[in-house]
Amino acid sequence: MRISEISGMEGEMVMMQDLFEFKRTGIGPGGEVQGQFVASGIRSTYSQRLEAAGYKLEAKMFRSGLGA
């Protein structure tokens, strides 16, 4: 499972980039999947727009290997 964003178009092709990916670490005693979302290292192309709208995104949340 991934959290991705549409980053634009190249001709008729939609361009996407993964921001976070769920890394499964196991199965819990009740059968639930365990794990966490891990950053891909790519900062959202919409970060500046979100911040201008009042949503502050910490740069560290996009660092590769860190959970969301």
Report the mean per-residue pLDDT for the chain: 90
- What is the SS3 assignment for 22? strand
Is the pTM for the entire model greater than 0.85? no
* Contacts with 66 (C-beta within 8 Å, 6 or more apart), sequence order: 38, 39, 60
Per-residue pLDDT at 67: 52
Mean pLDDT of 5-26: 94
Distance, in Å, from the CA atom of 30 to the CA atom of 28, rounded to the nearest integer, reads: 5
- Residues forming beta bridges with residue 16, ordered by sequence position: 6
